[in-house]
Amino acid sequence: MGLNDVGAFALRQLDPETAHGLAITALKTLPLPAAAPDDPILRTTLAGLELPNPVGLAAGLDKNAEALAGLSRLGFGFVECGSVTPLAQDGNPKPRLFRLSQDRAIINRMGFNNAGLEAFASHLANRPAGCVVGANLGANKQTEDRAADYVTGLRRLNGLADYFTVNISSPNTPGLRALQGRAALDDLLGRVNAARQPGTGPVFLKIAPDLTAEEIGMIVEAALAHRIDALIMSNTTLDRPDSLRSPDRGESGGLSGAPLKDRAFYALRAASEAGQGQIPLIAVGGIGSGEDAYARIRAGASAIQVYSALIYEGPGLVGRIKRDLARRLRADGFSTVHQAIGTAR
């Protein structure tokens, strides 16, 4: 267990939100050593972005893009910050973050707590060089025109973020998931597409896992129609599997971590089947090993993201996933990540 992983173990002994705050402070201030250079076999592209490896950090850890100095040194191929809303908001009342240790899972009902778009933009303006950074965009809870909030975020962060994620799948902002219906989705994506400016980075769409294959197919169709560059499959789930054992399993909010694995995999496969290689997919949900990452890539993902597993495995998990992924690619005769995408469809 490395020093960083020992720190992760110590943080798990604290209240989850207190631990999260201390982790952000450490990533901002500690002189962390840079990760070892990536194996060349892991170099890949995602929607035109050049990545040193396909292992990304999912949104939610660094909501305000303030810890990039540390995150950029942990070995991720790309880092997604947010969700950020135009105006600062406190989010839902505490407690709102629950560690389900027996299940290697998390339940959160944070409610897009963040410092707002201007603080986010100022942090991105001073980001470290050489790190691919995405901005996960959300809508304020009290906003009547939710689509306008995404457009505001896209315009304000143009030139500061390498890519943008339109997050319409958080279960913790009332009514947000209704944007996944076709009429609302066409309106939203049409307005987002119209707001793109010269030099605007790729735009991704993050959807919920609590959808049928038919609903996912409809979203893929809408994404293609509105020139969305990739889909993130997928956000947290409202489902509560019978297998959950931890005392806080009945808390409301989105469930992430190991119990999300099968549902997220199903959503990925449905999107892969619907998209037929026409739109890149990013897999997230229940990924905690190189074996998990490789299975998602072979099921159709161009890249993967992790978050909840880091809480239980520590930041050393990133390197372990990359080493195992490189080994598995070579064992199966692949010379690039791209060659392996969708080979198990």
Is 335 considered catalytic here?
no
d(CA 45, CA 182): 29
Here the tokens at position 225 are 């129609």
Residue 255 parent element (H or E): strand 254-257
State the pairing for strand pair 133-137/163-167.
parallel
Residue of 72, 83, 169, 170 marked active site: 170
Strand pairing partners for 283? Answer: 233, 304
Identify which of 46, 11, 51 has the alpha carbon closest to the alpha carbon of residue 314. Answer: 11
State the pairing for strand pair 49-51/44-46.
antiparallel
Residue 74 half-sphere exposure toward CB, CA atoms < 13 A? 28
d(CA 18, CA 99): 12
Q: How many residues appear in the chain? A: 345
Q: Spell out where 113-173 has E strands.
A: 133-137, 163-167
Q: At what angle do helices 261-275 and 213-225 cross, to 10 degrees?
A: 50
Residue 210 half-sphere exposure toward CB, CA atoms < 13 A? 17
| Residues noted as catalytic | 170
